[in-house]
Amino acid sequence: MTSASFNPRAALLDLLARTSFRLGNFTLSSGAKSDYYIDCRTTTLHAEGGRLTGLAILDLLREHNLHPAAVGGLTMGADPVVSAVSIASAWHAQQEPGAPLIHGFLVRKAEKTHGTGRRIEGFFEKDAPVLIVDDVCTTGASTITAIEAAREAGMRVIAAVCLVEREEAGGRAALEAACQGAPFLALYTANDVKTAHVRQSPPS
């Protein structure tokens, strides 16, 4: 999928460490306090970061022999990740004719009250194998919400992937329980990103 001389996962980690990692005093979406914050959107919405995100997740899917028809997640943290994977799959199909396309869908936090009234926008096929993605997983709540919405819509969740797992107590256990036997995978832990950030920082 990518050349042996190019490692998108390593390149993406370096970019995350440089552009998304911050030290300080922060309140997370869960309400917990933290002395660091990882804002993946500054990387996934970066031109090169988006490209690397798509390639890194495609490589992860190949590594685990996963073949989703579509990728989706809860708006808005998952939005650029979904687009990156879908676009990368189209690029890959051009390079290797016959490679499958992975379409995208977004999960609203609530059903809209106008138009079709759907909660899921984009790809929508009952019984289709789908991948759920997120940028940062702490408690796993947003990822679990997307998993439940995809299943309620009749799609089959074959895996969940996040870019960065914060390794908070109970987070992985809750995600694995929600996956119901499907794998939960993380490209990096928060410690991976922190270590790369420290490595990049000039000595004081």
Predicted model pTM: 0.92
Residue 89 lies in a domain: yes
Residue 1 lies in a domain: no
Take residue 194 and report the two structure tokens written for it.
């922190």
Q: CATH number, domain at 58?
A: 3.40.50.2020
Per-residue model confidence as pLDDT tens digits over 9-60? 999 999 999 999 999 999 887 777 899 999 999 999 999 999 999 999 999 9
**Cross-strand bridge partners of residue 137:** 165
- Res 115 pLDDT > 60: no
Residue 25 burial (C-beta neighbours within 10 Å; 0-12, 13-18, 19+) = exposed
Contacts of 34 (CB under 8 A, 6+ apart): 25, 26, 27, 28
The predicted pLDDT at position 159 comes to 98
Count of residues in the chain: 204
The predicted pLDDT at position 145 comes to 96
Share of the chain above pLDDT 70, in %: 94
**Cross-strand bridge partners of residue 134:** 162
d(CA 158, CA 130): 6
Radius of gyration of the chain (CA): 17
CB 130 within 8 A of CB 69: yes
Residue 91 lies in a domain: yes
d(CA 185, CA 164): 10
CB 183 within 8 A of CB 64: yes
Mean pLDDT of 175-200: 96
Task: Note down the domain range covering 167.
Answer: 8-199
Worst-scoring range by mean pLDDT, 28-37, 128-137, 164-173, 187-196?
A: 28-37
Please tell me whether the peptide bond between 76 and the residue prior to it is cis, using omega within 30 degrees of 0.
yes
- Res 136 pLDDT > 90: yes
The predicted pLDDT at position 79 comes to 97
The predicted pLDDT at position 158 comes to 98
Residue 58 lies in a domain: yes
Per-residue model confidence as pLDDT tens digits over 138-173? 999 999 999 999 999 999 999 999 999 998 878 999
Residue 2 lies in a domain: no
- Res 112 pLDDT > 70: no
The CA-atom distances, in angstroms, between 46 and each of 41, 52, 170 are 8, 10, 31
Take residue 26 and report the two structure tokens written for it.
């922060």
The number of folded domains in the chain is: 1
d(CA 87, CA 166): 27
Residue 204 lies in a domain: no
Residue 50 lies in a domain: yes
